[in-house]
Amino acid sequence: MPELPDVEIYKQYIDSTSLHKTLDQIDVKDDSVMNESAQTFEEQLKSRSFEETRRRGKRLFISTNSEKWLMLHFGMTGSLQYWEDENNIPDHTRMIFRFEKGGKLAYICPRKLGTVDLTDSPDNFCEEHHIGIDALEADADDFRELLNNKRGMIKTALMDQKTIAGLGNVYSDEVLYQCNIHPKTKTNKLDDEQISSLYQTMQRILKTSINNQADPQKMPDHYLINHRQEGADCPDCAGSIKRLKVAGRGCYICPVCQKS
DNA sequence: AGTACCACCTGACGGC
DNA sequence: TGCCGTCAGGTGGTAC
């Protein structure tokens, strides 16, 4: 699930539930998503508190009142849940942060494709992991520059976290659909107007999604997002939605709207 | 540099 | 009901 807007909502969720509370216990349920041992998490986080959150692309960083930051990545199915009732641990919880005064934050990851890590610095972490500029932080010039000279398909470029961090399969499809650009178009065949349109559309879509709690059901009906099904009606013309495979991913387009 | 595959994992869904 | 293939909003590695 989680692309940039989802992770931004998780950030807001932590900000509103879990900051400035002393951590009492770090409960690792499944260490296969952890890049550090349960003991290390315990040593680094116990008696500390979460103080500040930052997001870059799909990565979420949480500072503690020590030199360490917690890094959360959600893979395809990760999420968070804060709750108070002791006997109500969500399914697929891989880690629980228990606060001294009773609240608990669960890191949930059914498919175990996410990662939890510790780092000294979000910036260094992003550099080491080749995570590019955040899609919402990039300005129009950055965007044009980053796509300049790319010879691959535009969908691949938009999903490449080294280039621009934050867009995944669904939102890259959405941006291309709203710009009437075919996902297999070679990036270097796009003209200035199309690049500019991609940038503006990406900004608008990401902000709209965040303003709607990243909930697809709350998104405008003329968006592709609720019509991602072979044969569905195109929200914008008489065409019907077609499923392709692009860069190994299921990709949805309107073949009438997206000619080039 | 780009692409095509495989791998990591589990759950849901449709066909038989 | 059960089995099986396929697919799923992510990422990293490898081989061409």
Nucleotides of B under 7 A from a protein CB: 1-6, 8-11
Beta strands in A42-102 (DSSP E): 50-56, 59-64, 69-73, 79-83, 93-99
Rounded distance in angstroms from the CA atom of residue A247 to the C1' atom of nucleotide B3: 8
pLDDT value of residue A72: 97
- Distance separating alpha carbons of residues A180 and A225, to the nearest angstrom: 15
DSSP string of A188-234, one letter each residue? GG--HHHHHHHHHHHHHHHHHHHHTTT-GGGS-TTSSGGG-STTPBP
Rounded distance in angstroms from the CA atom of residue A141 to the C1' atom of nucleotide B10: 41
Q: What is the mean pLDDT of residues A236-246?
A: 92
With a 7 Å cutoff on the CB, does A173 touch strand C?
A: no
Instruction: List, in order, residues 6 or more apart from A124 with CB less than 8 Å away.
Output: none
Please, what's the b/e burial string for A114-151 (b: 16 or more CB within 10 A of its CB; e: otherwise)? bbbbbbeebeebbeebebbbbbbebeeeebeebbeebe
For the sheet with A115-119, list strands across it: A50-56, A59-64, A69-73, A115-119
- Distance separating alpha carbons of residues A53 and A144, to the nearest angstrom: 29
pLDDT value of residue A207: 97
Nucleotides of C under 7 A from a protein CB: 7-12
Average pLDDT value for chain A:
94
With a 7 Å cutoff on the CB, does A152 touch strand C?
A: no
CB within 7 A of strand B (chain A, 208-247)? 247
Beta bridge partners, A69, equal A63, A119
- Distance separating alpha carbons of residues A252 and A27, to the nearest angstrom: 40
Residue A194 has pLDDT above 90, yes or no: yes
pLDDT value of residue A85: 85
Q: Nearest residue to nucleotide B9 when comparing alpha carbons to its C1'?
A: A111
Residue A87 has pLDDT above 90, yes or no: no
Structure tokens at A97: 């942060």
- Distance separating alpha carbons of residues A204 and A207, to the nearest angstrom: 5
Neighbours of A84 (CB within 10 A): 10
Neighbours of A25 (CB within 10 A): 13
With a 7 Å cutoff on the CB, does A79 touch strand C?
A: no
Answer yes or no: pTM beyond 0.75: yes
Rounded distance in angstroms from the CA atom of residue A238 to the C1' atom of nucleotide C12: 40
- Distance separating alpha carbons of residues A216 and A212, to the nearest angstrom: 8
CB A80 within 8 A of CB A10: yes
Residue A259 has pLDDT above 90, yes or no: no
